[in-house]
Amino acid sequence: MDIGLIGGTGDIGKGFAIRWGKNHRINVGSREEERAKRAAKRYREKLEKKDFSYCDIEGYKNSEAIRESDVVILSLPFEVITDTLDSLKKHFSDQIVISPVVPMYKSEGVFECRPKCAAKVIRNYLPNSIDLVSAFHSVPAGKLADLNKSLNCDVVVCGDNENAKEVVFELIQDINGLRPLEGGSLEVSTLCESLTPLLLNIAIRNDIEDPSIKFMDNK
Ligand SMILES: NC(=O)c1ccc[n+]([C@@H]2O[C@H](COP(=O)([O-])OP(=O)(O)OC[C@H]3O[C@@H](n4cnc5c(N)ncnc54)[C@H](OP(=O)(O)O)[C@@H]3O)[C@@H](O)[C@H]2O)c1
């Protein structure tokens, strides 16, 4: 599969590139092509050190990364989403778009969630032909980008199109240690997004590294 990472030079983009770069073609996107190419080279080198000598990771401007891809991940801070999508929306055709975006900010040492659902904001800025799926909000970027660390997290998936969700389920299962869970419609995304500031506040106060979620089944 061709996976485009918009803002793929950042923290979570790096993790996606390194985990999916083993068996997918990765198009790292950036506002600056050179920056994307440098990041792609770093990601390739990281995988090559782990004996994945063939990996197809290239850097592009964000617009080109979208056009080259079947699935596009919006690896961007919430604050820049509307302006960025406004300028990029003409480059989408029939991709599946994944939003890991959390509308979070920090105030006086406390992480808080804005009273907005990132997925709903994004839905309004994408063409109707695009299926939007919301996922990965509680997957820690540092751990995702470190192949020496094993992940043991659940990823709640929300969206209105079952086929698109199925594709995202498969992509999640491609990453060792991640378990996809059905979350419901895109409407539910706001609840998943609000878990991230909660996790981070608890992590800081309890000295927990790379917090994530795992739903227990006590049957
Ligand atoms: N970090 C995590 O652990 C984590 C976990 C789960 C979900 N998330 C979510 O994933 C998203 C990305 O997080 P992140 O930590 O990867 O973010 P980040 O590293 O702060 O930024 C990602 C990329 O966004 C681009 N960017 C920055 N300012 C921009 C602007 N004004 N206009 C357009 N692009 C801009 C940059 O790419 P270029 O400069 O190359 O264009 C940057 O590398 C966020 O919404 C976050 O809530 C993060």
Give the model's pLDDT for residue 52.
Answer: 79
Minimal-distance CA residue to ligand 1 atom 29: 80
Give the model's pLDDT for residue 173.
Answer: 97
DSSP string, 120-139: HHHHHHS-TT-EEEE--TTS
Report the percent of the chain where pLDDT is more than 70.
100
In the predicted model, what is the mean pLDDT of residues 174-203?
Answer: 97
Cα(1) to centroid(ligand 1), Å: 23
Q: Which residues contact ligand 1 via a Cβ below 6 A?
A: 7, 9-13, 30-31, 35, 75-78, 80, 84, 100-102, 104, 136-137, 139-141
In the predicted model, what is the mean pLDDT of residues 181-189?
Answer: 98
Backbone angles phi, psi at 59, to 5 degrees: -110, 140
Minimal-distance CA residue to ligand 1 atom 36: 7
Give the model's pLDDT for residue 50.
Answer: 87
In the predicted model, what is the mean pLDDT of residues 190-217?
Answer: 96
Decide the pairing of beta strands 131-134 and 96-99. Answer: parallel
The closest of 27, 23, 48 to 37, measured between CA atoms, is 27
User: Over the stretch 83-120, which tens digit does the pLDDT of each residue have?
Assistant: 999 999 999 999 999 999 999 999 999 999 999 999 99
Domain boundaries, the chain: 2-206
Give the model's pLDDT for residue 51.
Answer: 79
Structural contact between residues 19 and 153, judged by C-beta atoms closer than 8 angstroms = no
User: pLDDT category, 151, cuts 50, 70, 90?
Assistant: very high
Cα(219) to centroid(ligand 1), Å: 39
Cα(190) to centroid(ligand 1), Å: 19
User: pLDDT category, 54, cuts 50, 70, 90?
Assistant: confident
Which residue of 27, 62, 76, 204 sits with most ligand 1 atoms within 8 Å of its CB, as the best mutation to test the pocket?
76
pLDDT at 127 over 90: yes
Beta bridge partners of 99: 134
In the predicted model, what is the mean pLDDT of residues 56-83?
Answer: 98
Q: For the chain, what is the mean pLDDT?
A: 96
Give the model's pLDDT for residue 126.
Answer: 97
Q: How many angstroms from the chain centroid is the CA of residue 80?
A: 15
CATH architecture of 2-206: 3-Layer(aba) Sandwich (3.40)
pLDDT at 53 over 80: no
pLDDT at 179 over 90: yes
Cα(157) to centroid(ligand 1), Å: 20
Structural contact between residues 133 and 157, judged by C-beta atoms closer than 8 angstroms = yes
Which residue of 62, 74, 75, 99 sits with most ligand 1 atoms within 8 Å of its CB, as the best mutation to test the pocket?
75
